Chain A
Amino acid sequence: MSGSVADGAPAGVRSGAGRSRHRRRGSPKSRGQRWAPYLFIAPNLAIFLLFVIWPALNGFNISLYDSTNGRTFTWAGLDNYRDVVTDEDFVAVVGHTLVFVVCFVVLVTATSIGLSVVLDAQRRGRAVFRAAYFLPVLLSPIVVGVIWNWALDRQVGLVNTLLDLVGLGRPGWLVESSLAMACTIFVGIWIHLGFYSIILLAGLQGIDPSLYEAARLDGATAWQRFRHLTLPLLRPTTLVVVILATINGFQSFDFIYTLTGGGPVGGTTLIVQFIYERAFESPIRYGLASAAGVMLFTVVFAVTALNYLVGRRSEAI
């Protein structure tokens, strides 16, 4: 397929795209119009500055000090950063985080696209299915971890009980490092699948059906229609999902902590747990935790910005 029907953006988006900065520059504005953006953004910005930016800067500041109780600080300069990087567990933690995030983002995006396409085609009982797949999204991550830790237990878990019935034995899901990581990724997908699918479903339903008609008349098979029509037209929504998934991936902690405790033998300890242990568990070292937090923030910011800019360049946003 030449891809001539879609150049990466659905018809509506192209004409209405907000990138019309240049056109707007010279047109006359009323006073209300000039003040409007500042007023609109003010409440959000105020809360944002007070409760997010200021504490974040503070946190950045704390990373340059050593503190065991959040009240007395001794200057440490870049020592905390050095300590984080030379921590023997740090390299492993970074590795685990990367593995988890990459696998999670790729797999959850793929499965969500798949699920949304199938759901879109399914007319009967769609609402029921959608509700069913959405159920995990409603759960508290702690509850999720508790339930799955229990379900994956080698001896008493639901999964192995069923597998045993079918004669597939009892694998040690949470006691082998690689299996545990796979389970963690699986549970992560389990949690978010429904949510991303709904977003993608909305995107799918915005695609002009006459495009499919035209393609079918041209002789395209369903798979070709999917690959050359659906996927490209879905790009803006996919980008939203990828960004959300990246963020969720890096932020994953609560369910992992209750699911595996970061084990076995640290095999699923990710960066947020690394930070959590130094900020919440004895012996507390706030400076160290903040330093790791700053590093995490920098990385995720870079990755998210990259995602966003790449997505923008293909005119998807």
Chain B
Amino acid sequence: MSSATVGTPRGPQWTSTGRPPGLGRLLRTVGLTAGALVVIAPVMWAALSSFKTTSELSRRPPALLPQTFSFENYGEALGSFDFTTYLINSVIVTIAATLLTLAINTMAAYALAKYNFRGRDGLFLLTLATIMIPLQVILLPVYEVVSSLGLVNSLLGLIIPAAATPTGVFVLRQYMLTIPDDLIEAARIDGAGEFAIFRRVVLPLCVPALAVVTIFSVIWRWNDFLWPLVVAQDESVYTLPVALARLNSQQVIPFNLVLAMSVLSIVPVVIMFLLLQRHIVTGIAQTGLK
């Protein structure tokens, strides 16, 4: 019966049919593994194929493994543009933009969640509303603003304008709403200043939401090509996705190079995620949505 979980503190056991628990666990593991394979397979396939030559790639039916694991495609892809500059730009923009986003979004979310001021609800709804403006439509007006502020063709121009992400504010506000007001009141009574309360009481309780917004921001900025299209004009300011977009829009698309570039663009984010995963996970596990 389902009493196998007596004593274990966490979560429901998925033994719904009364079979011995071992089978349930096995089914679950098998199911998860199968699902994980389906999820990863295409990416692995692309990664493997990034080592193939053009003629290997066009072979029908395609071979699973490349003939040789030569890095020729990578070399050629990297050689077609100034990889180091693009990489450095991507890194700088992603990190700086994420930090800026975290800073201003948390403050704004805090104001919207824990204070009561005129226009608060209207502002929140407005924030929600603008999530849905497709950048393509406002590209020209945004460029004019960026240009009149002298931010064109600069890294700042890539970092600042998109930092006020409505999604970030939304997610953070939702989490902050669940923080008991009593904690904040108590801190006030103790004589703490507003910003100190924010920094020392509220922020630490928001770690899961911060983690979510961080991942969000990093992924988006790292892969974003629309903003650089608007703001960057010089190779000195281009980021990695620009290189991929360029390869992809040549008259004869060098698919082998596109694959190599795609893999290259994935690797840093994956590494970062794997490194931070434990931290993010413990953060989520420790605090959770109380």
Contact = CB atoms under 8 A, between A and B. Distances in A.
A–B proximity contact (CB within 8 A): yes
Contacts of B31: 118
A82 interface: no
A140 B14 contact: no
A282 B234 CA distance: 25
Given A40-B107, A134-B273, A135-B270, A47 B16 contact: no
A102 interface: no
A106 interface: no
Interface string B112-145: 1111110010010111111111101111111011
A202 B289 contact: yes
Nearest to A34: B117
A180 interface: no
A133 to B, nearest CB: 6
A48 B164 contact: yes
B10 A120 contact: yes
Contacts of A297: 129, 132-134
A115 interface: yes
Contacts of B84: none
Interface string A209-246: 10010001000011101100010000011001001100
22 contacts: A15-B180, A33-B188, A40-B107, A40-B198, A41-B107, A41-B112, A43-B104, A47-B160, A47-B161, A47-B163, A50-B145, A56-B130, A58-B141, A120-B10, A122-B28, A132-B39, A143-B262, A147-B43, A202-B208, A202-B288, A230-B12, A251-B132
Nearest to A161: B61
Interface in A92-124: 115, 117-124
B88 interface: no
Interface in B180-205: 180-182, 188, 193-195, 198
Interface string B43-76: 1011000000000000111100000000000000
A55 B46 contact: no
A139 B13 contact: no
Contacts, number: 316
Given A222-B14, A251-B132, A17 B177 contact: yes
A121 B28 contact: yes
B108 A45 contact: yes
Contacts of A158: 41-42, 45, 62
Interface of A: 10, 12-13, 15-18, 20-21, 24-25, 30, 32-33, 36-38, 40-41, 43-45, 47-48, 50-56, 58-59, 62, 70, 115, 117-125, 127, 129-143, 146-148, 150-151, 155-156, 158, 161, 190, 193-195, 198-199, 201-206, 209, 212, 216, 221-223, 225-226, 230, 236-237, 240, 243-244, 247, 250-251, 253, 272, 275-276, 279-280, 286, 289-290, 292-294, 296-297, 300-301, 304-305, 308, 317
Interface size class of B (residues with CB under 8 A): 35 or more
Nearest to A286: B140
Given A147-B43, A216-B2, A121 B244 contact: no
Interface of B: 2-3, 5, 9-16, 28-29, 31-33, 35-36, 39-43, 45-46, 59-62, 103-105, 107-108, 110-117, 120, 123, 125-134, 136-142, 144-146, 149, 160-164, 166-167, 169-171, 174, 176-182, 188, 193-195, 198, 208, 212, 215, 219, 222-223, 225, 241, 244-245, 248, 258, 262, 265-266, 269-270, 273-274, 277-278, 281, 284-285, 288-290
Given A40-B198, A142-B244, A297-B134, 11 more contacts: A36-B194, A37-B117, A40-B107, A40-B194, A43-B103, A117-B11, A127-B277, A142-B245, A293-B136, A293-B137, A296-B132
A16 B180 contact: yes
Chain A at the B interface: SS class: helix
B128 A190 contact: no
Contact of B137 (A48, A54, A138, A289): A289
Nearest to A139: B266
A199 B28 CA distance: 20
